[in-house]
Every structure is written in C-alpha cells, then in structure tokens.
Structure 1
C-alpha cells in the first residue's frame, strides 16, 4: 500500500469486515461512494466496495506478476493495471472493460471520517502499512 498514491491510501480501510463496510457506506456515503478494504477470504487481495442503492457491491482486486485486476465471481481475471490507483481511476472514468461496475463518484476518505463523530463500531481502521506482494 506504501507505493500507492494518496487517493488509494485515503480510501483504504484495512481489515474491516463486510458488515462494517456496509454500515460505513450507508451512514457516511452516497450513491457512488466507494472504499477499499482487505479481502476477508483471499490473503493479499483487496475489495473495492461501492454503494449503489439499495446495496453495497463488492469487487475483489487481485495482484499477479503482471499487475492488478478485478476478479469476476467466476474466477476470471480481467484487464490488468500497473497499480491499484490506475485500476480505480480507470473504473471511475468508465474506460475499463469487460465488467459493469457502478459509477465510482465519491471516494469515502477515511481521514475525513476520523475527524467526525461516529460511533465506536468504526474505531478500528487499520492505518499501519503493509507490504506489496
């Protein structure tokens, strides 16, 4: 995560679960709000979570030797990107191919949430760095 840009680091919430992610996006987000978290089931992968009412849609992002990609439920890996930032920006601009991701319009910046008064349920947000695989 250290090698990623400021935008990616600002939306990376570390090891929060899917239920906490949904509560965060429902309470502090709006249509198109998104964040990045660690995958609960695949070590080294991340989840891009996007609010599109009435749901929070989750997309697994995996890394291989030739870059980052979004992984379909079928396990199929799609277009490769050199960094998480490039991948997210491509889906934000709608130029990434092969999958229908809801519009990514509003990054849910964790630094802004840390300064607001929200419940104890959201106090654990991992801020330590982790190495890139």
Structure 2
C-alpha cells in the first residue's frame, strides 16, 4: 500500500471490519461514497466498499503479477491496471452498465471522519473479538 499515491492513501482504512465499514458509510457517506480496506478473508487483497442505499457493496481487488484487477464472476472480462488508483479511476469514469460496479461518485477520505469515530471503533472491535472468542 505504501507504493500507492496520496489518493489511495486518503481512502485506505486498513483493517477496518465490514460492520464498521457499513456504519462508517452510513453515517458519513451517501450513495456513491466509497473507501478501500483490507480483505478480512483473503490476505493480500483489498476490498472496495461502495454505498448504494440501502446496501454497502463490496468488491475484492486482487493483485497478480504486476497488475490489479476487480474480481468478478467468470462471465465478465478481467480488466487489469498497473495501480489501484488507475483501477478505481477507470470504474469512476465507467458509464457502461456491463461493468457491474455500483457508481463510484464520492471518495470517503479519512480526513473527513472525526477521530471519535475511530476511538469508538477500537473499543467496539475489542469487545466484539472478546465475545467471538467466548463462542
């Protein structure tokens, strides 16, 4: 991630979980707001999360060899990009419906989010992991 530009750094939320992502986009986003986070299930991949009320749509971004692509079902062609920024910019400009991605209109930059949200998030994730470990 450190090789990516300032734009990607500004929308990358790291290891934020899916529940916290949904809450973040619900509170601070609007339709078309999007962010980038680590995948919780596949190490080394990222998730592009986009709000389209009433849902948050999540797309897995995969790095293979020297390119990034949006993981889609086998019917869709795989478009490959040198950087995450090029991939996201392509999908921001895409107007054709066959791409299958909810429109990316509004990057939800970390600087837009009050620090208190992240402080509450740490508390919530710590309590959530404790309750999961008891099961």
| Structure-1-length-normalised TM-score | 0.82
Look up the match of 1:88. 88
Deviations 1:12-67 (A, max 9, x none): 00001111100000010011000000000111000000000110000000000130
State how far apart, in whole Å, the 1-side matches of 2:80 and 2:17 are. 26
Structure 2, unmatched stretches of 5+, are 124-135
Q: 1:5-84 alignment to 2 at 5 Å?
A: 5-73=5-73, 78-84=78-84
Look up the match of 1:121. 120
SS state at 2:99 partner: coil
Of structures 1 and 2, the one with the larger relative CO (CA 8 A, separation 6+) is 1
Counterparts in 2 of 1:119 and 1:69: CA distance versus 1, 3 Å: closer
| Structure-2-length-normalised TM-score | 0.81
Provide the aligned C-alpha RMSD in A: 2.4
Instruction: Number of aligned residue pairs: give it.
Output: 123
Shift of 1:118: 3.2
Shift of 1:10: 0.4
Structure 1, unmatched stretches of 5+, are 125-133
State how far apart, in whole Å, the 2-side matches of 1:108 and 1:23 are. 13
